[in-house]
Amino acid sequence: MKYTDGQRDTVSYLAKVTSLLEEKFCRLRLRSCTKADIDQGLVQCSDNTLLTFPEFYDVSKNCALHHDGGLRASFSFFLQNSKKSPELSVSQVFSRMLMEQHGVTQPMAEAVTTRFPTLGSLIRAYRDSCYSDEERENLLVGMTYDGHKKIRPAVSKVIAWLYNDEHLQ
Protein backbone atom coordinates (compact mmCIF):
# COMPACT_ATOMS: atom_id res chain seq x y z
CA MET A 1 0.00 0.00 0.00
CA LYS A 2 1.30 3.42 -0.89
CA TYR A 3 0.34 6.44 1.20
CA THR A 4 0.55 9.88 -0.36
CA ASP A 5 0.23 13.42 0.98
CA GLY A 6 -2.79 14.29 -1.12
CA GLN A 7 -4.61 13.98 -4.39
CA ARG A 8 -1.84 15.61 -6.41
CA ASP A 9 0.77 13.17 -5.05
CA THR A 10 -1.57 10.24 -5.68
CA VAL A 11 -2.09 11.23 -9.31
CA SER A 12 1.65 11.73 -9.77
CA TYR A 13 2.40 8.33 -8.22
CA LEU A 14 -0.19 6.55 -10.37
CA ALA A 15 1.16 8.25 -13.50
CA LYS A 16 4.70 7.06 -12.68
CA VAL A 17 3.57 3.50 -11.98
CA THR A 18 1.53 3.45 -15.20
CA SER A 19 4.54 4.67 -17.15
CA LEU A 20 6.78 1.98 -15.62
CA LEU A 21 4.24 -0.76 -16.41
CA GLU A 22 3.87 0.46 -19.98
CA GLU A 23 7.65 0.42 -20.45
CA LYS A 24 7.93 -3.08 -19.04
CA PHE A 25 5.04 -4.71 -20.90
CA CYS A 26 4.31 -2.66 -24.04
CA ARG A 27 6.49 -4.74 -26.41
CA LEU A 28 5.59 -8.15 -25.03
CA ARG A 29 3.64 -10.57 -27.18
CA LEU A 30 1.10 -12.73 -25.42
CA ARG A 31 -0.49 -15.96 -26.60
CA SER A 32 -3.49 -17.66 -25.08
CA CYS A 33 -3.52 -21.19 -23.70
CA THR A 34 -6.02 -23.31 -21.82
CA LYS A 35 -5.71 -25.08 -18.50
CA ALA A 36 -5.64 -28.37 -20.42
CA ASP A 37 -2.53 -27.17 -22.31
CA ILE A 38 -0.83 -26.51 -18.98
CA ASP A 39 -1.98 -29.83 -17.47
CA GLN A 40 -0.69 -31.75 -20.51
CA GLY A 41 2.70 -30.10 -20.25
CA LEU A 42 2.37 -28.24 -23.56
CA VAL A 43 3.10 -25.01 -21.71
CA GLN A 44 6.01 -24.71 -19.31
CA CYS A 45 6.25 -22.08 -16.59
CA SER A 46 9.48 -20.17 -16.25
CA ASP A 47 10.97 -18.53 -13.18
CA ASN A 48 9.28 -15.24 -14.03
CA THR A 49 5.76 -16.68 -13.96
CA LEU A 50 3.45 -14.16 -12.37
CA LEU A 51 0.66 -16.53 -11.37
CA THR A 52 1.37 -20.10 -10.39
CA PHE A 53 -0.97 -20.63 -7.46
CA PRO A 54 -3.70 -23.28 -7.90
CA GLU A 55 -6.60 -20.82 -7.55
CA PHE A 56 -5.49 -19.19 -10.79
CA TYR A 57 -6.21 -22.30 -12.76
CA ASP A 58 -9.47 -23.05 -10.99
CA VAL A 59 -10.87 -19.56 -11.51
CA SER A 60 -9.79 -18.59 -14.99
CA LYS A 61 -9.43 -21.83 -16.98
CA ASN A 62 -7.26 -19.73 -19.30
CA CYS A 63 -3.96 -17.98 -19.10
CA ALA A 64 -1.74 -16.14 -21.48
CA LEU A 65 1.67 -17.49 -22.43
CA HIS A 66 4.33 -14.83 -22.70
CA HIS A 67 7.06 -15.19 -25.34
CA ASP A 68 9.59 -15.95 -22.59
CA GLY A 69 7.52 -18.94 -21.44
CA GLY A 70 5.98 -17.18 -18.44
CA LEU A 71 2.29 -17.33 -17.72
CA ARG A 72 0.26 -14.15 -17.31
CA ALA A 73 -3.28 -13.71 -16.08
CA SER A 74 -6.00 -13.77 -18.71
CA PHE A 75 -8.20 -10.70 -18.94
CA SER A 76 -11.21 -12.59 -17.59
CA PHE A 77 -9.19 -13.68 -14.54
CA PHE A 78 -7.93 -10.15 -14.03
CA LEU A 79 -11.44 -8.70 -14.36
CA GLN A 80 -12.98 -11.23 -11.99
CA ASN A 81 -10.31 -10.73 -9.34
CA SER A 82 -10.00 -6.96 -9.56
CA LYS A 83 -13.51 -6.28 -8.32
CA LYS A 84 -13.43 -4.14 -5.22
CA SER A 85 -15.57 -6.48 -3.19
CA PRO A 86 -18.24 -9.10 -3.53
CA GLU A 87 -21.89 -8.12 -3.55
CA LEU A 88 -23.00 -7.25 -0.04
CA SER A 89 -26.34 -7.62 1.70
CA VAL A 90 -28.10 -4.54 3.08
CA SER A 91 -27.09 -5.61 6.57
CA GLN A 92 -23.43 -5.94 5.55
CA VAL A 93 -23.48 -2.48 3.96
CA PHE A 94 -25.06 -1.05 7.11
CA SER A 95 -22.40 -2.78 9.21
CA ARG A 96 -19.66 -1.22 7.08
CA MET A 97 -21.33 2.19 7.40
CA LEU A 98 -21.26 1.84 11.17
CA MET A 99 -17.59 0.83 11.16
CA GLU A 100 -16.73 4.09 9.39
CA GLN A 101 -17.58 5.91 12.60
CA HIS A 102 -14.80 6.60 15.07
CA GLY A 103 -14.67 3.96 17.78
CA VAL A 104 -17.01 1.44 16.10
CA THR A 105 -15.33 -1.92 15.66
CA GLN A 106 -16.49 -4.86 13.56
CA PRO A 107 -17.87 -6.80 16.57
CA MET A 108 -19.78 -3.70 17.72
CA ALA A 109 -21.26 -3.23 14.27
CA GLU A 110 -22.27 -6.91 14.19
CA ALA A 111 -24.05 -6.51 17.54
CA VAL A 112 -25.96 -3.48 16.26
CA THR A 113 -26.91 -5.15 12.96
CA THR A 114 -28.05 -8.28 14.79
CA ARG A 115 -30.61 -6.19 16.67
CA PHE A 116 -31.21 -3.66 13.86
CA PRO A 117 -30.42 -5.41 10.54
CA THR A 118 -30.90 -2.29 8.42
CA LEU A 119 -30.36 1.43 8.77
CA GLY A 120 -34.12 1.86 8.40
CA SER A 121 -34.81 -0.39 11.38
CA LEU A 122 -32.39 1.61 13.55
CA ILE A 123 -33.90 4.92 12.46
CA ARG A 124 -37.41 3.55 13.20
CA ALA A 125 -36.23 2.52 16.67
CA TYR A 126 -34.90 6.02 17.30
CA ARG A 127 -38.13 7.55 16.01
CA ASP A 128 -40.64 5.19 17.65
CA SER A 129 -39.11 4.40 21.02
CA CYS A 130 -36.86 7.35 21.88
CA TYR A 131 -38.56 10.59 22.85
CA SER A 132 -35.55 12.69 23.83
CA ASP A 133 -31.99 13.22 22.66
CA GLU A 134 -30.76 11.46 25.80
CA GLU A 135 -32.82 8.33 25.04
CA ARG A 136 -31.53 8.29 21.45
CA GLU A 137 -27.94 8.71 22.63
CA ASN A 138 -28.34 5.76 25.01
CA LEU A 139 -30.29 3.38 22.76
CA LEU A 140 -27.23 1.24 21.95
CA VAL A 141 -25.47 1.58 25.33
CA GLY A 142 -24.90 -1.76 26.98
CA MET A 143 -25.45 -3.92 23.89
CA THR A 144 -23.13 -6.90 24.27
CA TYR A 145 -20.49 -7.80 21.72
CA ASP A 146 -17.52 -10.17 21.79
CA GLY A 147 -19.26 -12.20 24.46
CA HIS A 148 -18.93 -9.83 27.41
CA LYS A 149 -18.02 -6.34 26.23
CA LYS A 150 -20.65 -3.62 26.07
CA ILE A 151 -21.10 -0.68 23.73
CA ARG A 152 -19.96 2.47 25.50
CA PRO A 153 -22.06 5.66 25.76
CA ALA A 154 -19.62 7.62 23.56
CA VAL A 155 -20.04 5.18 20.67
CA SER A 156 -23.82 5.08 21.03
CA LYS A 157 -23.88 8.88 21.08
CA VAL A 158 -21.85 9.17 17.85
CA ILE A 159 -24.19 6.78 16.04
CA ALA A 160 -27.29 8.52 17.42
CA TRP A 161 -26.06 11.93 16.30
CA LEU A 162 -25.22 10.62 12.85
CA TYR A 163 -28.55 8.91 12.17
CA ASN A 164 -30.78 11.49 13.83
CA ASP A 165 -29.51 14.53 11.99
CA GLU A 166 -32.48 16.56 10.76
CA HIS A 167 -30.82 17.02 7.36
CA LEU A 168 -30.83 13.26 6.79
CA GLN A 169 -34.56 12.85 7.45
Per-residue pLDDT tens for 81-101?
Answer: 666 667 788 999 999 999 999
Mean pLDDT along residues 16-37: 70
Which residues in the chain are classed under CATH 1.10.150.670?
Answer: 90-164
Model-level pTM?
Answer: 0.51
pLDDT for 80 equals 67
Per-residue pLDDT tens for 107-142?
Answer: 999 999 999 999 999 999 999 999 999 999 999 999
Per-residue pLDDT tens for 29-64?
Answer: 555 566 666 677 766 554 333 333 344 444 344 455
The Cα 123–Cα 117 span in angstroms is 11
Q: What is the 3-state secondary structure (H, E, C) of the chain?
A: CCCCCCHHHHHHHHHHHHHHHHHHHCCCCEEEEEHHHHHCCCCCCCCCCCCCCHHHHHHHCEEEEECCCCEEECHHHHHHHCCCCCCCCHHHHHHHHHHCCCCCCHHHHHHHHHHCCCHHHHHHHHHHHCCCHHHHHHCCCCCEECCCEECCHHHHHHHHHHHCCHHHC
Length of the chain: 169
The Cα 26–Cα 142 span in angstroms is 59
Q: Which of 89, 95, 88, 137 is nearest to 116 (CA)?
A: 95
Residues 69, 47 contacting (CB under 8 angstroms): no
* CATH code given to domain 90-164: 1.10.150.670
